[in-house]
A and B are shown apart, each in its own frame.
Chain A
Amino acid sequence: MQILRKTGLKGLEKAKRLGSRGVIRLLKEKKITGRGGAGFPTWKKWKMALNAQADIKYVICNADEGESGTIKDRFILMNNPEAVIEGIMIASYVLNAKESFIYLRGEYSYLKKPLEKVIRKLKVNIRIILGAGAYICGEETAILESIEGKRPHVREKPPYPVEKGLYGKPTLINNVETLADVAIALAFDDYNPELKLFSVAGNVTKPGVYELHSNIKLYDLINMAKPKKKIKAVYFGCFGGCIPYTDIELTTENVCRMGALLGSGTIIAVDESHSIVDVATNIAKFYEFESCGKCTPCREGTNRILELLERISVGKGKLEDIKTIEDIALVMRDTAGCGLGRSASNHILTALKFFRQEFEERVK
């Protein structure tokens, strides 16, 4: 696997030869994009952080991998932590950063010691901050609040973290996979940006992390993971929503065209033995639990959607309830304050788009 190639500080050496501007040019040439889910061009983010005028700058590695079914960052941190840390070192070099952090998901606390060992081995100064188990802390501005010791409420953007981040200073926040990609792309001339990681979960017998070409067809991917029964839908984590099982190339654009979001490449397969109503109720429970509570549509909306779905799933719902769910879901997507809130209704909007019949049957 490309992501497991050992860079041995060759990336950092090359970065020092190229200089800050040279590294950013190379990232642009190699077409590296953020792997956290939004797919923002990495060179653009780095350039903004480099151009920001400030005495102090920070670098943060976002290792708060909280999306349901997503395990790719854990896979990298367990199997090639050196590349991630080298990526952080390169970013710190490019920005001349004062301090750098790894914001590690609370549930991954067992990775803290091994990571610290690597940090010591590479003789760098990187602080590992453990999250406390909140999904919202994967959102970059919530990470900032959390590191500052506050409630992890998202900040209003703009200003973006690259302008005003940790303690008000320009801060570069990148995902684990992105930083590993940076180190590998710098270390090896034959780096292939088309390869990416997919986390596969759900009703398959071989779940796990797959490194595949980004235009892999959905059928091929699912067949590799060997499902037992016929698959009827796939979910892209919780926040990406679902599509019916169709043979499309798994590009961001294709998935988006169907009304869902590919995000960080998580595929949860759902076979015919499961009702989408039950899946939706389960996901709604997740969002109700994980909403941070700051803004109205997400705080109240996730709660009301769960209430209605629970009613429907036990056969006590009414046809109007489906309409009410849709009303709330659309307003959540329109007005919620952060990515979590805006996408927390994707799952139900797409489920109602493709599997409305299942909901209507349940209320009859």
Chain B
Amino acid sequence: MRIKVDGKDFEVKPDENLLVNLNNLGFNIPSLCYMPGLKPEARCRMCVVEVNNKLITSCSHYPKEGMEVFTDSERVRRARKINAELLLAEHKDSCSQEHELCKIIDELALRETRFEPLKDYKLDLGEAIIRNNNLCINCGRCVQVCTNIQSVNAISFAFRGHEEHVTPVFEKDLSEVACTFCGQCLISCPVGAIKEREHLNEVLKALKDKKKHVVIQTAPSIRASLGEEFGLPPGTLVKGKMVAALRRCGFDKVFDTDLGADLTIMEEATELLERIKNNGPFPMFTSCCPAWVKFVEHFYHQLIPNLSTCKSPHEMLGTLIKKYYAKLNGLKDVIVVSAMPCTAKKFEAARKELKKMVDFVLTTREIARLIKYLKIDFVNLPDEDFDPALGISTGAGAIFGATGGVMEAALRTAYEIATGKKLTKIEFDQLRGLNGIKEGSIIINGKEIRFAAVSGLANTRELLKRMNKYHFIEVMACPGGCIAGGGQPLPKTKERIEKRMRALYEEDAKLPLRKSHENPIIKKLYDEFLEKPLSRKSEELLHTRYKKRED
């Protein structure tokens, strides 16, 4: 289909809206509320273009044959400028100048607004996520994501007119409602009105305290995304620089959570084999995603017995650091910090039953801020290796960061433990890629084990309707898995997520040790300390329990 844009002819795709078409053609149409894949709500009115002497929102209109579009007429520019000015007026609280609204304001050369802010909302201090309605511009992306992508409905719009604002029910805090703290709202926000609850100050204080031995562990998916915060292209693996930078931040040891991931796999694969022996309960669900766990506790507590009792990888490693590594090295005051792509991990670390085995969780963004604050020249750092002892890992843990990865790693181990045979092909292609729901099956000792991997909580609700088909289901709350987690660098785009995913699988393919049960450290840990998977000691240290939440 051909249309005329600013006097020139262009070929456009009739099934894409005007906004996407025009931006693909290189026109710079600003937009604050549109999100690819969701029904446009056309709230912000920034993406207007002139057609037939009328201004229309390009996000909610499709091209028509012979259409004549003006993207930058005087009228269009005036409309965008006034609307941006009106939004800017209500967005003055400690603005970080890095987000989408500020970029648009720069492009419109809008240096000041004629209005004073009128809003005065209290902060919503959720345990892992903080919302500041005084920065909010009511674009509605967070509500759309929470409702349509995650089906959690923790937040929605209330009141009307100028008083309309985003809020959990009855003006409660996020902590008081059924919020999973997945952070998808946060990474969708174009103005930085939603942020993680920061723990940087606490970590800095611990780092300065000479009496404390401060250990940091980094999640698999961070090495594929941290570089973005320092201007490196998405998908750049920065493991070496990351370790070097963290060491220069003053951490006494830098460990790889991959080891915790390998342990999780050992325990979880054994648990699966136990369930196969005892005929259930099926399906078994993975438990490494804390947002998913909280989702079950709120909405599907009848499925609590189906959840694997395994702690998540960083909690397993945290426990080993405090209970094993500390004793081995005669250390008294050990602080464990986890660098995670996730906001829900902050909530997880504060769960009472986990007894503070991890003291603080920092998101990828906080890690970047820490490195910048300490004026470390990240890009030019030499590559360094993780600390040994609890610092060698297999590749199986690395792919934990992508949806389908946990399942793939667990299946490799479960198959080989149960059959005593080697897998001829260790890549499970049906579990890779960014599809919301992926499934397959494997024959273990003559029995067909059907499995599925799902990411995104609305997708999960769909899968749960037919869950009885499966023996084993991996759930990641964030669409795409941890590489698209609530703690990852902004802004979220599909391209970035795909590149991060590719990087993680590349790392897996390159590593010599690719099965958790072949990791010599794991073997040593079981021999010297834990005895065997699901031993009494393992149950005590590496497993946990869940509770029904009434909200």
Interface check A301, CB cutoff 8 A: yes
B contact residues around A299 at 8 Å (CB):
138, 161-162, 164
Q: Which of A76-107 contact B (CB under 8 A)?
A: none
> Across the interface, which residues of A come within 8 angstroms of B463, CB to CB?
none
Residue A334 CB within 8 A of the other chain? yes
Q: Is A291 an interface residue (CB 8 A)?
A: yes
Chain B, Cβ-Cβ closest to A327: B82
- Asked if residues A294 and B43 are in contact (CB atoms below 8 Å), the reply is yes
Is A174 at the interface (CB under 8 A from chain B)? no
By beta carbon, the residue of chain A nearest B50 is A334
| A328 (CB) vs chain B CBs: closest residue | B82
Pick the most buried of B42, B45, B115: most chain A CB atoms within 10 A of its CB: B45
Closest-by-CB residue of A relative to B32 is A296
Q: A residues 249-306 with Cβ under 8 Å of B?
A: 288-297, 299-304
Contact B87 A293 (CB under 8 A): no
On chain B, the residues within 8 Å of A324 by CB distance are 114
CA distance A327 to B79 in the complex (A): 9
Q: Within the assembled complex, what's the spacing in Å between the Cα atoms of A303 and B162?
A: 6
Q: Find chain B residues with CB under 8 A from A156 CB.
A: 40-42, 57, 60
When the two chains form their complex, are residues A293 and B82 in contact, meaning their CB atoms are under 8 A apart?
no
By a CB distance below 8 angstroms, the chain A residues around B300 are none
Q: Let me know if B399 is at the binding interface, CB within 8 A.
A: no
Let me know if B157 and A293 touch, CB within 8 A: yes
A336 at the interface (CB under 8 A from B): yes
| B48 on the A face (CB < 8 A) | yes
Encoded as 1 (CB less than 8 Å from any B CB) or 0, chain A from 329 to 340 comes to 011001111000
Q: Does B447 contact A (CB under 8 A)?
A: no
Q: How far is the CB of B10 from chain A (nearest CB, A)?
A: 23
Task: Say yes or no for B163: interface residue by CB 8 A criterion.
Answer: yes
Question: Chain B's nearest CB lies how many Å from the CB of A150?
Answer: 10
Q: Smallest CB-CB separation from A323: which chain B residue?
A: B114
Q: Kindly identify which residue among B87, B114, B161 contacts A291, using a CB–CB cutoff of 8 Å.
A: B161
Q: Is A221 close to B, CB under 8 A? A: no
- State which residues 39-89 of B face A: CB under 8 Å: 40-46, 48, 55, 57, 60, 75, 78-79, 82-83, 86-87, 89
Is the C-beta of B118 less than 8 angstroms from some C-beta in chain A? yes
The chain B residue with its CB closest to the CB of A290 is: B161
B161 contact from A292, A296, A307, A336, Cβ within 8 A: A292
- Contact: B79 with A293, CB < 8 Å? no
Q: Quick one: given A331-B79, A334-B75, are A293 and B86 in contact (CB under 8 Å)?
A: no
Output the residue of A291, A296, A327 with the most chain B CB within 10 A: A296
CA distance in complex: A297, B161 (Å): 11
How many angstroms between the C-alpha atoms of A290 and B160 in the bound complex?
8
Is A134 located at the chain interface by the 8 A CB criterion?
yes
A151 contacts B by Cβ under 8 Å: yes
A337 touches B42 (CB 8 A): yes
Q: Chain A 309-334 against B: per-residue CB contact (8 Å), 1 yes, 0 no?
A: 00000000000000010011011001
Q: Are B163 and A296 in contact (CB under 8 A)?
A: no
Choose among A292, A301, A337 the residue that contacts B164 (Cβ–Cβ < 8 A). Answer: A292
Contacts A151-B157, A299-B138; is A335 near B162 (CB within 8 Å)? no
Among B46, B86, B137, B164, find the residue whose CB has the most chain A CB atoms closer than 10 A: B86
Q: Roughly how many angstroms separate A241 CA and B80 CA in the complex, as a whole number? A: 25
CB-CB < 8 A to B55: which residues of A? 334-335
Known: A288-B161, A297-B45. A331 touches B40 (CB 8 A): no
Say yes or no: B162 contacts A331, CB within 8 Å.
Answer: no
**Residues B477-504 near A (CB distance < 8 A):** none
Bound state CA distance, A258 and B292, in angstroms? 61
Nearest-Cβ distance from residue A148 to partner chain B, whole angstroms: 15
* Bound-complex Cα distance A151 to B138 (A): 15
Q: Which of A288, A295, A301, A330 contacts B42 (CB 8 A)?
A: A295
Which residues does chain B contribute within 8 Å of A301, judged by CB atoms? 86
Give the interface centre of A289, A292, A297 by most chain B CB atoms within 10 Å.
Answer: A297
Instruction: State which of B44, B114, B118, B159 has its C-beta within 8 Å of the C-beta of A296.
Output: B44
What residues of B have a CB within 8 angstroms of the CB of A134 in the complex?
Answer: 160
Report the bound CA distance from A259 to B87 in whole Å: 29
- Does B90 touch A at the CB level, under 8 Å? yes
A123 smallest CB distance to B (angstroms): 39
Residues of chain B contacted by A336 (CB below 8 angstroms)? 45
Residue of A292, A300, A328 touching B87 (CB-CB under 8 A): A300
Residue of B44, B83, B89 with highest tally of chain A CB at under 10 A = B83
Chain A residues near B157: list those with CB within 8 A.
151, 293
Q: A288-B161, A288-B162, A292-B161 are in contact. Are A335 and B48 (CB under 8 A)?
A: yes
> Which A residues are in CB contact (< 8 Å) with B89?
300, 304
The smallest C-beta distance from B440 to any residue of chain A, in angstroms, reads 35
Hey, which chain A residues are within 8 Å of B115, CB to CB? 304, 307
- Which among A288, A293, A302, A324 has the greatest number of chain B C-beta atoms within 10 A? A293
Complex Cα spacing A301 to B86, Å: 7
Task: Flag B316-355 by CB within 8 Å of A: 1 or 0 each.
Answer: 0000000000000000000000000000000000000000
Contact status of A335 and B161, CB under 8 A, knowing A296-B87, A300-B86, A300-B87 = no
Which residues in B have their C-beta under 8 angstroms from that of A292?
A: 160-161, 164
B139: nearest residue on chain A (CB-CB)? A296
Minimum CB–CB distance for B332 against chain A, Å: 56
A52–B55 CA distance with the chains assembled, in angstroms = 28
Instruction: Report the bound CA distance from A288 to B159 in whole Å.
Output: 13
Among A294, A303, A331, A335, contact of B118 (Cβ-Cβ < 8 Å): A303
Chain B neighbourhood of A334, CB < 8 A: 48, 55, 75, 79
Point out the residues of chain B lying under 8 angstroms from A290, CB to CB: 160-161
Contact A293-B163, Cβ < 8 Å, known A304-B115, A331-B82, A334-B79: yes
Residue from the list B78, B138, B162 in contact with A330, Cβ < 8 A? B78
A19 to B137, CA, bound (A): 52
Residue pairs across A and B with Cβ atoms less than 8 A apart, 19 shown, are A151-B157, A156-B40, A156-B60, A288-B161, A289-B161, A290-B161, A291-B160, A291-B162, A292-B160, A292-B164, A293-B163, A295-B45, A296-B137, A299-B161, A327-B78, A328-B82, A335-B83, A337-B42, A337-B45
Interface residues of B (CB under 8 A from A): 40-46, 48, 55, 57, 60, 75, 78-79, 82-83, 86-87, 89-90, 114-115, 118, 137-138, 157, 159-164
Beyond A293-B161, A296-B137: 6 further Cβ-contacts under 8 Å? A293-B162, A299-B164, A300-B86, A300-B87, A335-B55, A335-B79
